[in-house]
Amino acid sequence: MTKNTKLQELKTNLLNLNNRFTNGEIRKTEILKGAPNYEYKRGVLPIIFSAPHSVYQIRDGVIKWADSFTGALAMYLADKLNCGYMVRTYCANDDPNYEDKENNSKEIKNEYLKYLTEKTQEDDIALIIDLHGASNLHKENVDVIHGKNYTAPKEVTNLIEKHLKALNIKSLSNKADFSGGAVIRQIKQRTGVNAFALEITPSHRKVKEENLQNIESLITAISNFINEYTK
Ligand SMILES: [Zn+2]
| Domain with 130 in it | 3-97+106-229
Q: Residue 3 Cα, ligand 1 centroid: separation in angstroms?
A: 31
User: How many domains would you assign to the chain?
Assistant: 1
Identify the CATH number of the domain in which residue 122 sits.
Answer: 3.40.630.40
Q: Residue 220 Cα, ligand 1 centroid: separation in angstroms?
A: 22
With a threshold of 0.75, does the pTM exceed it?
Answer: yes
Q: Residue 184 Cα, ligand 1 centroid: separation in angstroms?
A: 12
pLDDT tens-digit series, residues 121-175: 999 999 999 999 986 566 678 999 988 878 999 999 999 999 999 999 998 876 5
**φ/ψ (deg, to 5) at 152:** -145, 145
Residue 174 β-bridge partners? 145
| DSSP-derived secondary structure for 45-97 | SSEEEEETTSS-EEETTEEE---TTHHHHHHHHHHHTT-EEEEE-S--SS-GG
At 68, the pLDDT band (50, 70, 90 cuts) reads very high
Q: Residue 68 Cα, ligand 1 centroid: separation in angstroms?
A: 9
pLDDT tens-digit series, residues 69-123: 999 999 999 999 999 999 999 888 888 888 655 556 678 888 999 999 999 999 9
Q: Residue 223 Cα, ligand 1 centroid: separation in angstroms?
A: 21
Q: Residue 98 Cα, ligand 1 centroid: separation in angstroms?
A: 10
- 181 sits in the region (left: phi over 0; alpha: psi -120 to 50; else beta) called left
